[in-house]
Amino acid sequence: MSTKLPVGILGATGIVGQRFIQMLEHHPWFEVAWLAASDRSEGRPYAEAARWRLKTAIPANVAKMTVAPARPEGAPKIIFAALDAKIALELEPQFAAAGCAVVSNSSALRMQSDVPLVIPEVNGDHIRLIETQPWRRKSGGFAVTNPNCSTIGLVLALAPLHRRFTLETVMAVTMQAVSGAGYPGVASLDILGNVIPYIGKEEEKMEEETQKLLGTLNGGHVDPAPFAMSAQCNRVAVEDGHTESVAIRLKHKAKPEEIIAAWNDFRDEPQHLHLPSAPEQPILYMTAPDRPQPRFDCDLGAGMTTAVGRLRKCNVLDWKFTVLSHNTIRGAAGAALLNAELLKAKGYLG
Amino acid sequence: MSTKLPVGILGATGIVGQRFIQMLEHHPWFEVAWLAASDRSEGRPYAEAARWRLKTAIPANVAKMTVAPARPEGAPKIIFAALDAKIALELEPQFAAAGCAVVSNSSALRMQSDVPLVIPEVNGDHIRLIETQPWRRKSGGFAVTNPNCSTIGLVLALAPLHRRFTLETVMAVTMQAVSGAGYPGVASLDILGNVIPYIGKEEEKMEEETQKLLGTLNGGHVDPAPFAMSAQCNRVAVEDGHTESVAIRLKHKAKPEEIIAAWNDFRDEPQHLHLPSAPEQPILYMTAPDRPQPRFDCDLGAGMTTAVGRLRKCNVLDWKFTVLSHNTIRGAAGAALLNAELLKAKGYLG
Amino acid sequence: MSTKLPVGILGATGIVGQRFIQMLEHHPWFEVAWLAASDRSEGRPYAEAARWRLKTAIPANVAKMTVAPARPEGAPKIIFAALDAKIALELEPQFAAAGCAVVSNSSALRMQSDVPLVIPEVNGDHIRLIETQPWRRKSGGFAVTNPNCSTIGLVLALAPLHRRFTLETVMAVTMQAVSGAGYPGVASLDILGNVIPYIGKEEEKMEEETQKLLGTLNGGHVDPAPFAMSAQCNRVAVEDGHTESVAIRLKHKAKPEEIIAAWNDFRDEPQHLHLPSAPEQPILYMTAPDRPQPRFDCDLGAGMTTAVGRLRKCNVLDWKFTVLSHNTIRGAAGAALLNAELLKAKGYLG
Amino acid sequence: MSTKLPVGILGATGIVGQRFIQMLEHHPWFEVAWLAASDRSEGRPYAEAARWRLKTAIPANVAKMTVAPARPEGAPKIIFAALDAKIALELEPQFAAAGCAVVSNSSALRMQSDVPLVIPEVNGDHIRLIETQPWRRKSGGFAVTNPNCSTIGLVLALAPLHRRFTLETVMAVTMQAVSGAGYPGVASLDILGNVIPYIGKEEEKMEEETQKLLGTLNGGHVDPAPFAMSAQCNRVAVEDGHTESVAIRLKHKAKPEEIIAAWNDFRDEPQHLHLPSAPEQPILYMTAPDRPQPRFDCDLGAGMTTAVGRLRKCNVLDWKFTVLSHNTIRGAAGAALLNAELLKAKGYLG
């Protein structure tokens, strides 16, 4: 008999839901026990309900599972949520109120003051916000979130610099993969041979999430990091991997070799605790002049390592560089999974 | 008998050379009389020597023309040059010394102090630098250049703002089409489903050319514009059209409607003189929230209009917006052609 | 005051609807007077209701038109229909019954025995089937259809060979553009870097339509052409233009130069009558060994010319060749428009 | 000390050379000991000489290896060759004459009567042709080849049908990935949004190789299989995986379930001998109506399994279906590697 913890997936048929299933297939701690999706899918075998868009096959046990109604009754106590924001806003509180640990990839609750927005290598201490949640007191349930897929790679690259040199200004321009928009998502007639210079609410998310993630836990809320932050978001004809052109100003001046060392040496709790999904090296600086590139580098560290490259002087701020992160692994399913692993290691999952 | 001025094309078989031929097919003032390319092409009919990569057919008279040696002997007095920088550095001075008007798209001479770098709508007055060129005094020949394909759309968008509100800071991140790299240029294995965050020397060109174009003619040289400028250049899987995410700070504060009016109202010599290749409106502000896009908007004004969109507040500088410009028309062949038309209108072509 | 005939468009917001509007903008005989689409669009200005996906702008007068309910009341007497088959099956008979000339691009009625399926260069005489339609007798209305976008280029290439040499066998494998699936149509996650070897019902349509088009009018129905026909249909990452690898066996043996002459010399009623949308040359044989190609050749003859190339011996049948046709112009909107022009020339439009 | 057999790679810097290195990284029998490429690369560390285009990193030991001159002196006795045909024709005989086992992916010697053209699951017995090679008698060296990347998937799909039902006719239309053309290979300006209906000599290779592979060893040569075979080859914008639309006629009639069983049950020597690179299942029939697709299915069986789908009746021949095979793994480096493993198992590698 399995001694793994049973987990459920809300939004199991979408692109991120599929990544959860893929990443959980051989997970040492968790196993998929329950799947829910939209009404349309309810009651059907998963393999029929989902339009599977990954290169590996649907795990055999999951393929046969029946998609359950998206209600807490009968659901396991650990729930990975990959829902659209609007539905998440309705459903996630229901599951937390029912006593579930809701580990969410949705934007719905991210900026709520008592909900931790966490990248385990960056601000694992924010998890303590859970204790301030009313759900926690009443039912034991709670909600923890991870950032937007375009935020997470950026913040991983910023965190070690902020710790050592203190950020004053951040500007980021993204070139985001189509898988970030879900399925069916971006129409081929919209993106073949094209760039779309707009992704709804994405810039706002990147700006406010970055400051919360790098902010300071202060009792029952987080004081956002005080640096100025501006984002511009574009969609490009790439399947997986968000690329970002970044410029920063630092308070304490740094040499390029110090910045690169800050990236390559960066380790934190997930590495110290040997969490199963933690990459050995969260950030890898690539020395080739034309890297990182999404098609070749987004699978580094099984998609959990953020690649950085092209560090060079900026005429306006101090430094410019390129960041690449796998948007549905490190930027979504893997982000939530690592959050769950940290929660387990800290004793929040019973 | 034709009364059009005969022109020659140096580098006629490349992507920009092809655009010259296409744009000159029905030109009211100029007609193609001479073509030169690399040694490999010499002596062959153009239709055989060139791997034509445009949607319109090779003009019948050009198809049959024999590719001439790249020497001034026998060449017409007006030469459009679309050569690689290294070859241009060798050949363009030879043609200027032989009395030719060299209207060049190459980077070779752009930053030379006595060579005008010109966008007719922006700094047509810089053409007077010609008079300081030694070639001019000796043979009557001279050289005029246009900027890099990623610079020109940006500078068109900046010029009206600089005139009205004075730029203090400019940051630009490009997403450039593969046609900007010539033919064969970018390998398909490098760009399918990918972003390449590096284009050799492109960022340096954008930074220094922008300041020269918006600088001030001061006797025998140009004082560069004093604002700070930083560029990051990326290649994306787009056939034609360079898209740029731009942020600026202005000295004199402006309302968004004033900025948009500055763009839409912008007209200069090419429009006043009704130059044949001048777009009616050099800059068009698009109000849709997700435009401009290269696949749909790069042919505006027959490829000579720069599209701007998404003007919005920036948390770091003052304003952010998106610029799109056709890189082989407004950014290369059309740029040189408009320069030649301005030269003709000002009496420099005899 | 305009003397042009007012026309309406059913399904005006889709990709084919948009092509109708684009092709009718400067049409000498017809002008758009009425637009209808799904309930969702009804009552809204066209520019808001449609997600315009073409490179030319929405004609100003059309942009402001209000989308009407899809009912015959108030509609003009000439209707271009670009509806999904299921809706077409319901609506097209209503309009025909109300006295309209329904010129349809839908598959709904194509194979109905009393409905002409017409390519004007191929089987304009089939139009007489109209007289057998009950609608015609009751209200004067009727319905005429054009073939599927993957059928039409093929049949144009086959028709002159069938006339001169008699087809015995036809095998076609298609590589079809995404615009053939409408908008949003094919998801980018499905087609980037991919081939989809399946398009629902497409092979059946190609097989039966080809035989009806090349069949013989026999009183109140068409005897299908007796040759064997097999199709395999694939979707590829191309925006516009269906490419087909074709093999045929002929009853009467032919030399390659005779086949090429049959294609290049092919002219029929649309050319003799100088119909406004008729291409000067319906079929163009390209001699370059690697043409036709969709990106470079699908706009030949303003998208109305079918390109053929690579004629060579087949080890199994007699000949192999490649066919290319613009799928939303010659394969859809242009097909219907040319049908309407032929109807007008023959006196069917009053 | 390693007990693995040292192997060399001719053409080590190209796309197929890179796949050899990747597939040999953890190979249980062979290890890379020597690399050669063009003169340009000679004497440089491999990591500098090669433009690595795979998602996994260059193995550390290979990265530092110096590229050797392409001469037999100093080379190991087992040579994998991934050279252009013209160079292969010159170099491969030199290595065979010097006593090397040349396991070649090149087309140079494939159709030579005494050179085995082998797919281990299909015609492993043809390896005995080696004994008729003059090199073999003189130095012990020999040459063995694998088929073209577009042939191998097709022949794997045909072999079990030919064994059970006897092929009479085969027609194949390919949609081939750009990696099949090497690096830099296909220019992005040629293939973005495009199909190229021509690959030089590819159709001839497919036709004659298929007949040799399915032919009968008859003393010192192979009698080609007597069925008729016709191929049409197209290039599409896919990174990896050749897709083919195939139609066949069988001598002995078969039910669809018999055909599918012939595919799924197919096993041969590589599976019986448990060769390290042999896929458990050489052919997998996919039941989904729209599969196989290159982006999702080309890595089946670590790229060594050929996927088949869409079996259905053909109006002209008997059956139609779709074949997909990874062109640089099963179609090139993996093909040669499996050949080498079979040679080792049969005692040809000492």
Range with the lowest mean pLDDT among A152-161, B37-46, C81-90, D255-264? Answer: B37-46
Query: What proportions of chain B, in percent to the nearest 5, are helix, strand and coil?
Result: 35, 25, 40
What is the CB-side half-sphere exposure of residue B232 using CA atoms within 13 A? 33
- What the block records as the tokens of D40 is 């340009």
User: Which residues are CB-neighbours of A15 under 8 A, at least 6 positions away?
Assistant: A53, A179, A182, A183, A185, A328, C189
C277 vs C30: CA distance, rounded Å:
12
Q: With contacts defined as CB-CB under 8 Å, which chain C residues touch B53?
A: 296
Distances (CA, A) of D224 to B157, D117, D215, D254: 67, 12, 4, 24
The reply to whether residue B293 touches residue A197, judged by beta carbons under 8 angstroms, is: yes
- Domain co-membership, D153 together with D85: no
**Interval B98-113 mean pLDDT:** 98
Domain shared by C141 and C272, yes or no:
no
pTM above 0.95, yes or no: yes
pLDDT in tens, chain C (350 residues): 578 999 999 999 999 999 999 999 999 999 999 999 988 899 999 999 999 999 999 999 999 999 999 999 999 999 999 999 999 999 999 999 999 999 999 999 999 999 999 999 999 999 999 999 999 999 999 999 999 999 999 999 999 999 999 999 999 999 999 999 999 999 999 999 999 999 999 999 999 999 999 999 998 999 999 999 999 999 999 999 999 999 999 999 999 999 999 999 999 999 999 999 999 999 999 999 999 999 999 999 999 999 999 999 999 999 999 999 999 999 999 999 999 999 999 999 97
Residues A197 and A141 in one domain: no
Q: Give the rounded percent of residues in chain D with a pLDDT score beyond 90.
A: 98
Query: What pLDDT, on a 0 to 100 scale, did the predictor assign at position A350?
Result: 76
Contact C175 D193 (CB under 8 A): no
**Which candidate from A179, A189, A193 shows the least CB-CB separation from C189?**
A179
| Backbone angles phi and psi of A245, in degrees to 5 | -95, 115
The secondary structure of B253-314 as a DSSP string is: ---HHHHHHHHHH---HHHHTT-TT--S-SEEEE-STT---HHHHTTGGGGTSEEEEEEEE-
Q: How far is CA B298 from CA A82, B210, C54, D52, in A?
A: 37, 21, 12, 34
Lateral strand order in the sheet of A242-250? A228-235, A167-176, A242-250, A319-325, A306-313, A283-286
How high does pLDDT run on average in chain B? 97
Q: Tell me how far apart the alpha carbons of residues B11 and B24 are, in angstroms, rounded to a whole number.
A: 15
Question: Is residue C350 in a domain?
Answer: no
Burial class for D324, CB neighbours closer than 10 Å (0-12, 13-18, 19+): buried
Asked whether the CA dihedral A337, A338, A340, A344 is positive or negative, the reply is: positive
What's residue B350's pLDDT?
76
Which residues of C92-145 form beta strands (DSSP E)? Answer: 101-104, 142-145
Calculate Rg over the CA atoms of chain A: 19
Structure tokens at B346: 């000002």
**Contact yes or no for B46/B73 (Cβ under 8 A):** no
| Site of tokens 């390998």 | B187
Q: Which residues contact A270 (CB under 8 A, 6 or more apart)?
A: A120, A121, A124, A277, A278, A282, A338, A341, A342
Q: How confident is residue A38, by pLDDT bands cut at 50, 70 and 90?
A: confident
Q: Would residue C107 count as lying in a domain?
A: yes
Count interface pairs A-D at CB distance under 8 A: 15
Structure tokens at C337: 């428009």
Let me know whether D302 and D176 are in one domain.
yes
Catalytic residue among D27, D126, D162, D242: D242
> How far is B335 from B343, CA to CA, in rounded Å?
12
**Are residues C146 and A160 in contact, defined by beta-carbon separation less than 8 angstroms?**
no
> Could you read off the pLDDT of B127-182 as tens digits, one per residue?
999 999 999 999 999 999 999 999 999 999 999 999 999 999 999 999 999 999 99
Chain A residues contacting C via beta carbons under 8 Å: 15, 53, 178-179, 183-193, 237-239
Residue A38 identity (one-letter amino acid) = S
B350 within a domain of the structure (yes/no): no
CATH at D60: 3.40.50.720
Asked if D55 lies within 8 A of A299 by C-beta distance, the reply is yes
Domain count, chain B: 2
d(CA C39, CA C13): 11
Residues C123 and C158 in one domain: no
Residues A94-108 have a mean pLDDT of: 98
| CA pseudo-torsion sign D294, D296, D299, D304 | negative
DSSP secondary structure string, C17-40? HHHHHHHHTT-SSEEEEEEE--TT
Is D117 found in the same domain as D162? no
pLDDT the model gives residue C72:
97
Q: How far apart are CA B32 and CA B278, in angstroms?
A: 20
User: How close D319 gets to chain C, by Cα (Å)?
Assistant: 10
Smallest CA–CA distance, residue D240 to chain B, in Å, is 10
Confidence category of residue A120, pLDDT binned at 50, 70, 90 = very high
What is the helix (H) or strand (E) element at residue B339, kind and residue range? Answer: helix B334-345
The first and second tokens of residue D39, run together, are 């003169």
Q: How close is the nearest chain B Cα to the Cα of A253, in Å?
A: 19
Inter-residue contact C317 to C171 (CB < 8 Å): yes
DSSP secondary structure letter of residue D270:
H
Measure the CA dihedral A84/A86/A87/A90, to 10°: 140
At D186, the pLDDT band (50, 70, 90 cuts) reads very high
The residues of C whose Cβ lies within 8 A of any Cβ of B are 53-55, 192-193, 239, 295-296, 299
Question: Is residue B211 a part of any domain in this protein?
Answer: yes
Q: Is residue D350 part of a domain?
A: no
pLDDT tens for each residue of D140-159: 999 999 999 999 999 999 99
Q: Is the pLDDT of residue D283 over 70?
A: yes
Cis peptide before D28 (omega within 30 of 0): no
Residues A275 and A237 in one domain: yes
The answer for residues whose C-beta is within 8 angstroms of residue D106's C-beta and 6 or more apart is D81, D82, D83, D84, D85, D88, D89, D92, D145
Question: Tokens for C43?
Answer: 């009552």
Residue C116 shares a structural domain with residue C189: no
Q: How many Cβ atoms from other residues are within 10 Å of residue C134's Cβ?
A: 13
Minimal-distance CA residue of chain C relative to B297? C55
- In this structure, are A142 and A215 located in the same domain? no
- Is residue D283 in some structural domain? yes
What distance in Å separates residue A331's CA from the closest CA in chain B?
18
Share of residues in chain B with pLDDT > 90 (%)? 98
Size of interface A-C (CB pairs under 8 A): 62
Assigned domain for D156 exists: yes
Parallel/antiparallel/unpaired status of strands A306-313 and A283-286: parallel
- The proportion of chain D whose per-residue pLDDT surpasses 70, expressed as a percent, equals 100
Nearest to A177 by CA among A242, A232, A231, A233: A242
The closest of C171, C193, C204 to C316, measured between CA atoms, is: C171
Nearest in space to C114 (alpha carbons), one of C91, C144, C87: C144
pLDDT value of position B268: 98
Compare CB distances from A189 to C183, C192, C193 and report the shortest one's residue.
C183
D347: amino acid identity, one letter: G
* pLDDT range class, residue B1, cuts 50, 70, 90: low
SS3 of residue C160 by DSSP: helix
Its domain, for residue C224, covers: 149-326
In a domain, B255, yes or no: yes
What is the rounded distance in angstroms from the CA atom of residue B101 to the CA atom of residue B96? Answer: 6
* Pair of tokens at residue B78: 């007006």
Cα A261 from Cα B146, distance rounded (Å): 42
Distance CA B172, CA B150 (A): 10
Contact C299 B54 (CB under 8 A): no
Q: Could you tell me if A213 and A119 are in contact, meaning their C-beta atoms sit under 8 angstroms apart?
A: yes
Q: Is D206 helix (H, G, I), strand (E, B) or coil?
A: helix
Do B125 and B165 lie in a common domain?
Answer: no
Same domain, A143 and A199: no
B247 has a pLDDT exceeding 80:
yes
In this structure, chain A runs to a length of: 350
Q: What is the 3-state secondary structure (H, E, C) of chain A?
A: CCCCEEEEEECCCCHHHHHHHHHHCCCCCEEEEEEECCCCCCCCEHHHHCCCCCCCCCCHHHHHCECECCCCCCCCCEEEECCCHHHHHHHHHHHHHCCCEEEECCCCCCCCCCCCECCHHHHHHHHHHHHHCHHHHHHCCEEEECCCHHHHHHHHHHHHHHHHHCEEEEEEEEEECHHHHCCCCCEHHHHCCCCECCCCCHHHHHHHHHHHHCCEEECCEEECCCCEEEEEEEECCCCCCEEEEEEEEECCCCCHHHHHHHHHHCCCHHHHCCCCCCCCCCEEEECCCCCCCHHHHCCHHHHCCEEEEEEEECCCCCEEEEEEECCCHHHHHHHHHHHHHHHHHCCCCC
Give the residue from C307, C301, C298, C305 showing the smallest Cα distance to C326.
C298
The arithmetic mean of pLDDT across residues A28-56, rounded, is 95
CATH of residue A214: 3.30.360.10
pLDDT classification of D125: cutoffs 50, 70, 90: very high
Calculate the alpha carbon distances from B267 to B263, B283, D112 in Å: 9, 9, 70
- For the residues of C325-341, what is the DSSP string, one character each? E-TTIIIIIHHHHHHHH
For CA atoms A66, A71, A73, A79, give the dihedral sign: positive
Backbone angles phi, psi at D286, to 5 degrees: -95, 130
A107 and A249 both lie in a single domain: no
- Which pLDDT score, from 0 to 100, does residue B46 have? 97
Put simply, the answer to whether C178 touches A190 (Cβ < 8 Å) is no
All residues at 6 or more sequence positions from B336 whose CB lies less than 8 Å from its CB, including other chains: B20, B80, B81, B82, B103, B104, B105, B146
Select the residue of C188, C193, C238 nearest A187 (Cβ to Cβ).
C188
